[in-house]
Structure 1
Amino acid sequence: MTKTALITGVTGQDGYYLSRFLLQKGYRVVGLVLPQRQSSLAKLGSLVNKLEIYAVDLTDSRVLSGLLEQVQPQEIYNLAAPSFIPDSWNNPLETLDVIAGTTTRFLMAIRQAGVKARFYQASSSEMFGQVDPSPQDENTPFRPMNPYATAKLHAHWTMVHYRQRYNLLACSGILYNHESPRRATQFVTRKVCLAAAAIKLGISDRLELGNLDAKRDWGYAEDYVQAMWRMLQQDQPEDYVIGTGKLHSVKELVATAFECVGLDWTRYVVVNPNLVRSDEHFLLVANTKKAKQKLQWQPQMSFENLVEKMVLKDLERLQNGTIATSAKP
């Protein structure tokens, strides 16, 4: 029997890679998009023709319940969320509703529709916040430091409560930063890789950054969506920390990206104090022992290969004119 998977946030980075992965496994893939955001389907390219797309108001649990009755998914992947963390300070209430509200309404709809769907909640390492222990695992206390992280934690605990109270097969992946050539340009990884490509081609001549010593656990998004799928194939629903277990600084990111195009980064990078995040932290790094043991999962792509992949793709885009002028550094 063909399995059906339903994905919210289908037009985002993770939605794209997860859809492609599930299609390769023979799934019927249903993607949800907000009615006012249907133009974002263009980001899926030719992949959109292989999906079933529904324009759905995620603020109405009755509509969601009706959709679940109609689609009858075996697996639900809730990836819908604003992903650029600094923006959450501009509208914390909207951030809370989009993340925590959508998750709660979906869990309610699963019960209302009576479907036997397995539910994946996209949690975030940002929930750990100002951590003391490093690296972090599934037992590390949460101390969120921004509205995005707080909303993610609300959604995470709501999922846990529904799992415990209603015996739902629901789980969350506590994912660390994961990147790809499909990352939006406001994220530092893509910003750096695009700048290196643009400077190489003479389109730009400088790159402004904040704290070069800030460190992240950066992995490849295509590796991480496989972990999501593996979580929903388990007999018992549990939560998993997903990352590489390795820290790299922004300075390393810059040096690696510029090295890919044969440039000395120190000639082009300018530090702008206004770009330093007020909630900066340096010790968010994953302990993935549980995922390795129970899911038989570990990341495949190295940091260096990931950065190279992103830089080369941006070189191609700039040379082909397939990236908007406004997106150039």
Structure 2
Amino acid sequence: MNQKTALICGVSGQDGAYLAQFLLDKSYQVYGTSRDAQGSSFRNLKTLGIRDQVHLLSMDPEDFRSVLVAIRKSRPDELYFLAGQSSVGLSFEQPAETIKSFTIGILNVLEASRMVDFPIKVYHAGSSEAFGDTNGVAATEETPFKPRSPYGLAKASSTWLVDNYREAYKIFACTGILFNHESPLRPERFVTQKIIQTAKRIAKGSDEKLVLGRMDISRDWGWAPEYVKAMWLMLQQDKAEDYIIATGHTHSLNDFVELTFDSLGLQARDHVKQSKELMRPTDLLISKADPSKSRKKLGWAANYALKEVVQEMLKDAAKD
């Protein structure tokens, strides 16, 4: 059987790095893109020990010619679009950049895939943020989008683009609507990694406080290395469809904080304070998922619950 080739747009991020590792283990030839492949550090690839196994290309997702050149050079069987500004909080400060990074990026990928003379299966990284607040009702693939942040709006728009190209041009393109998924590769601007790293320093004797915004928000948190398998499974199907990827269990941010400090033998109430400055203009209160379609059609289910996610992040962080 011929070796498959994959192109991962955004290989330097958390999901890109874990996906590259997963595909290499399946004997894929893996190409990965960054806006500046020569200048980027690819820290996550180095952390996973796979930096030298990935063929790196410079590609600007917002430049059509750049996208087309990368696709022609790699000639992928599968293309995973994971690029773009990845912080919900930062999207309020950089709304235009966030929206362009997703919508123009995936549009260029879809157009290029339509133009080349070989078939490509396209995976697009969607987000639960596109749903907005479903008022505690578990979202399914049929739940209407009602985003409450520039990030969510961008993800909703790019998902609609994928749907349109799939219908209009019969491209094999699908969206994984991923709910929150964490790992030690998360940068500290993400609240979960901020909690883990701050609690770790406090456990070592730091007298700092963990400063957070709203703690009553609830999310479905999973383990990122598991989620990349679901991405791959979507492209192994006979028909391109969208899938929700989540654990199906929702917990509050306060639960995450309590579990983290408890695991370190500390009382969270002694080390945490809230700040109005960290509260977003709009924020969905409860994010809840129904991942039954992915269980039924992909045979995928999350094995890590919140407790295991926290333990793994603490364990791996302790190696730093």
Identity of paired residues, percent?
A: 37
| Residues 198 and 315, structure 1, Cα contact 8 Å, conserved in 2 | no
* Partner SS for 1:316: coil
CA gap 1:174/1:276 in 2 versus in 1, 3 angstroms = same
The match for 1:160 is 163
Tell me the equivalent position of 2:230. Answer: 227
Q: Distance in 1 between matches of 2:7 and 2:242?
A: 20
Match of 1:323 in 2: none
Distance 1:229 1:127 in 2: 22
Are the aligned partners of 1:197 and 1:312 in contact in 2 as well (CA < 8 Å)? no
Distance 1:40 1:100 in 2: 26
Return the offset for 1:276: 2.1
Q: Which residue does 2:150 correspond to in 1?
A: 147
| Range moving further from structure 2, 303-312 or 160-169 | 303-312
Structure 2 unpaired stretches of 5+ = none
Q: CA deviation at 1:43?
A: 3.0
Q: SS state of the match for residue 124, structure 2?
A: strand
CA distance in 1, matches of 2:249, 2:127: 17
Q: Is the 8 A contact 2:14 2:44 kept in 1?
A: no
Matches within 5 A, 1:1-329: 1-35=2-36, 38-45=39-46, 46-132=49-135, 134-317=137-320
In structure 2, the CA distance between the partners of 1:37 and 1:272, relative to structure 1 (3 Å rule), is farther
Letter in 2 for 1:214: I
Gaps of 5+ in 1: 318-329
Q: CA deviation at 1:212?
A: 1.8
Give the structure-1-normalised TM-score.
Answer: 0.93
Cα distance in 2 between the residues matched to 1:201 and 1:26: 41
For the aligned residue pairs, the C-alpha RMSD in angstroms reads 1.4
2:141–2:244 Cα contact (<8 Å) kept: yes
Aligned to 1:327: none
Cα deviation for residue 132 of structure 1 reads: 4.2
SS at match of 2:8: strand
In the alignment, the residues of structure 1 paired with residue 84 and residue 280 of structure 2 have an alpha-carbon distance, to the nearest angstrom, of 20
- In the TM superposition, what is the alpha-carbon distance from 1:204 to its structure 2 partner? 4.1
- Structure 1 segments of 4+ aligned residues over 3 angstroms from their partners: none
**Cα distance in 1 between the residues matched to 2:38 and 2:305:** 34
Aligned pair count? 317
* Secondary structure of 2:50 counterpart: helix
Aligned partners of 1:68 and 1:115 also within 8 Å: no
Aligned partners of 1:12, 1:18: CA distance in 2, in Å? 10
Name the TM-score, length of structure 2 as normaliser: 0.95
Q: Secondary structure at the match of 2:238?
A: coil
1:180–1:165 distance in 2 versus 1, CA, 3 Å: same
